[in-house]
Homo-oligomer: A and B are copies of this chain.
Amino acid sequence: MEIKLNRQSDQSLITQISTILAEKIRSEFLQEGSQLPSIRSFSKENQVSPVTVSKAYALLERNGYIEVIHGKGAFVRNKEQRSTNESRSDYNWQLTIPDYIQRSQSMLNKRMEYAMKFSSATIHPGLLPSVYLVNEIVAILQADPQIVARYGTVQGDEDARKAIRDYVKTYSNIAATPQEIIVTNGVQQGIDLVAKTFIGPGDIVITEAPTYTAAIDVFRNRGAHIIPIPVDEEGMQTALLASLCLSKQPKLIYTNPTFHNPTGTVLTKARRRELLDLAQQYGFLIVEDDSWNEIYFDDNPPPPPLKALDTSGHVIYLKGFSKTLAPSCRIGAILSKGTVHQRLLSAKSSADSGNPLLTQKALIPFLRSDRMHAHLEKLRIALEIRRDQTIALLNKHAPKGVTWIEPKGGLNIWVSLPSNGNTDELLWKAQQAQITFLPSSACYPGEPQYHHLRISYSYPEPHDLTQGIIKLCQLMESYLQDMPPVR
């Protein structure tokens, strides 16, 4: 097994090997129970000393990824009994075909249903206006059945783009024309289109650390050199970015400034200004992922998006209507200007020739109605109650040494164990109790931190939320008691 090592990196080879293998295991490219190469053969193929490989394997074992069986070798640890529906042995030749998928951690937790699902930053269906939406969709289809027989355009239905223009004007104070909007299959496709258009091997991409798991997947798969900038309670530390720009030339910054995923923090106004100034000064693009800025609590709206402040076409703004309105339609949008817009449109054209027309038409009436306003108001209240409930439970039940950031909006709470904790370990125990969350190891583009976890309070039923948080606190308590002392 040959892997890509960077001998100029500040990271030790031990860390690099262990990180790359851990990612392959988490992405399930190395499947449970499968055997790792022997230390000797791995060392030979990658031209590193056997001692280095042995230390990397030891680190992997300590972090629970592999099991070393004396006299037999190292094996990917089994988390669960699995049943596969096909024998894979006929297709072994396929392993000779290399691929460009370096990381795929967004698939984590996707396979199974858990009773208490805190891993999914999505909103419980009961909080979404299904019946109203269905009535609108039925009316549209019955008025013009041929809608189902027509293609949309690559850029997206014009009326849908007009509705999105009105929406971002109303709720985010962004001035855009329908010509500057591309309809996408959710925000995820927006990130992917940006990456396939502008990012290739070695290009420098800046993200927050931690950041959105699937964005790391996308940029890694394009061969980007991702440099993470840590987040504090005021969001991305733009001062660190400014000093980085003195020596490196970022091509693009991916940021989620408002109710940041996963920490829930909000980039301050001053830092927003600074980020835009840096983009102008150094000529990089800002990709602003603004999935849920409307979901603010305590009647306290966040500062305007970067896009609302941008006059020079530096910001590519990504907005989605899956989470807050209709997951089943997967409507998102990219707002950008000039040739950046034109090039993204070309990328959309080769990616899928355009979104389905039906799901675009389906959302237009609701997006434009007064009901949209009332719905967001209701959503804020419902999610604020859930946040309060979760914080109250953590206050009451979380063990000593566990801390968290109270979010002012969005769907997530970022919880930290003492720094020698490992939430991958905790997750395995939690899953046995029918609980999932997002472990922090999936949220770092570089060397991961292992001692945080993200709780999404927006998906479970209120009763499951209560039961689940109490149970999770108990699990944290017994995990911390059993934990070896700080090394």
Hey, what's the 0/1 contact readout for A84-121 against B, CB within 8 Å counting as 1?
Answer: 01101011111111011100101100100000000000
A349–B91 CB distance below 8 A: no
**What DSSP secondary structure best describes chain A's contact surface?**
helix
A130–B149 CB distance below 8 A: yes
CB distance from A160 to the nearest CB of B (A): 13
CB distance from A42 to the nearest CB of B (A): 20
Interface residue A337 (Cβ < 8 Å from any Cβ of B): yes
Stretch at the interface among A257-265, A338-346, A471-479: A338-346
A151–B328 CB distance below 8 A: yes
A101–B197 CB distance below 8 A: yes
CA distance A420 to B173 in the complex (A): 57
Hey, what's the 0/1 contact readout for A176-199 against B, CB within 8 Å counting as 1?
Answer: 010110001110110010001111
Point out the residues of chain B lying under 8 angstroms from A359, CB to CB. Answer: 356, 358-359
A330–B312 CB distance below 8 A: no
A151–B122 CB distance below 8 A: yes
Interface residue count on the A side (C-beta < 8 Å): 95
Stretch at the interface among A70-78, A131-139, A164-172, A232-240: A131-139
Point out the residues of chain B lying under 8 angstroms from A327, CB to CB. Answer: 148-151, 357
A340–B221 CB distance below 8 A: no
Interface residue A214 (Cβ < 8 Å from any Cβ of B): yes
Interface residue A147 (Cβ < 8 Å from any Cβ of B): yes
Hey, what's the 0/1 contact readout for A221-260 against B, CB within 8 Å counting as 1?
Answer: 1000000000000000000000000000001000000000
- Which residue from chain B places its CB closest to the CB of A362 in the assembled complex? B358
CA distance A140 to B27 in the complex (A): 35
Q: List 19 A-B contacts (CB under 8 A).
A: A27-B346, A85-B177, A86-B180, A92-B338, A97-B198, A99-B343, A100-B200, A101-B196, A101-B197, A104-B350, A107-B345, A107-B349, A184-B352, A185-B356, A189-B351, A196-B221, A214-B349, A328-B356, A330-B352
